[in-house]
Amino acid sequence: MRGILVALCILVDLSGVAARATELKPDTVAAFDRYVHAMEARMDEDTGRDQFLVVDRLPDARRTEAYEQLKNGQVYIEAMSAREGDRPIKAPSGLIHHWAGVIFIPKATFEEVEAVMRDYDCHEDTYKPQIRKSKLIERNGDESKVYFQFFNHSIVTVILNANFDVRDTRFGSGRFQTVTRSTRIAEVENADSPNEHEKPVGNDHGYMWRLFSYWRIEEKDGGVYVQNESVSLTRTVPALLAFIVNPLVKSIPRNVLIHLLTDTRNAVEKSEAKPAVPVAEPAKNNGMGAGSTEILPRPQRIRSFGVWAEAGQLPGWIGNSDILLAVSSGLET
């Protein structure tokens, strides 16, 4: 943990490199678009093969083991990649980060998980403090427009205003997919001051230029499996810094995704545990939201590249949007 903080300090302080604005170039965006096209084509092929979740793509023995571990409260995390034929897709002057994770929520129903995921106005509570503000702008059937303000404070404070287009798709009675694609991400300077303003879009520090998230939920085995597969585009790191920093922060995107999934599970379990409150009696507010009941996360072990670690050993500062400073500052290869 200390090594990661030192690495981030180096990144922020060394000659002011990380503090300088950088421009998002058209060829960087084009490469990201090609990457997303290849990734979505693979996801469509997986669905056609009845491989709805990433664990379904595993060999038989590993798939059986993964499902058992998920049902025991563990989290599956996998680094992903998309290719054009046999060639990797790299973004000039940018970095593409692509991860997927799956979690199981026992005794939950399809409708309960869908309700939490689509309640965008409450995401600022579900995923706080990393989501600072959230708002459903409009909803038209299976399509929505939402706004999030992301927050991260570790070495420096990063605040981003982000707009997303959302599309929901149902695959039969027990499968559901929500795709959120960023349409605008702007870095905020001097937040909560009279001088608060946005930096020009695409001409900022490059913490996050694009973010596409693909949520899939499937009800079976007495509960609901929840998967998030996310791909983001950020600035690069100068070669001198990359050599120092990259080995230290490989674990950060895994932990980001773990917290995102566990926050989702906790929100669903809280909604299940809410006691019935008579209409004439106001709900008690315990700081977690009106009428809600806090449920502590169950003890769990986390799968990541075959290595298991206790959930309590996760770095305490990492949340589901710390990718903004660490990974999305281009600290991962």
Is 221 a domain residue? yes
Question: Please, which pLDDT band fits residue 257 given cuts at 50, 70 and 90?
Answer: confident
Mean pLDDT of the chain: 78
Per the structure, the count of domains in the chain is 1
Assess if residue 138 is contained within a domain: yes
Q: How far apart are CA 39 and CA 43, in angstroms?
A: 6
Counting residues of the chain whose pLDDT is more than 90, the rounded percentage is: 55
Residues 286-302: what's their mean pLDDT?
A: 34
Q: How many CB atoms lie within 10 A of CB 88?
A: 10
Q: How far is CA 199 from CA 50, 161, 188, 329, in A?
A: 44, 10, 6, 16
pLDDT on residue 244: 61
| Residue 129 placed within a domain | yes
| Within-domain flag for 282 | no
Residue 284 is assigned to a structural domain of this protein: no
285 located within any domain:
no
CATH number at residue 148: 3.30.530.20
Q: If pLDDT is split at 50, 70 and 90, which confidence band does 256 have?
A: confident
Half-sphere exposure of 239 toward its Cβ, with a 13 Å CA cutoff?
A: 0
CA distance 215 to 105: 15
Helix residue spans in 90-217 (DSSP H): 110-118, 123-126
Residue 16 banded pLDDT, cuts 50, 70, 90: very low
- Does some domain include residue 193? yes
Q: Are the beta carbons of 111 and 99 closer than 8 angstroms?
A: no
Confirm whether pTM is higher than 0.85: no
283 part of a folded domain: no
pLDDT at 129 over 70: yes
Count Cα neighbours of 284 within 13 Å in the Cβ-side half-sphere.
6
> Domain limits at 122?
2-274+290-329
| pLDDT 10s digits, 208-225 | 899 999 999 999 999 999
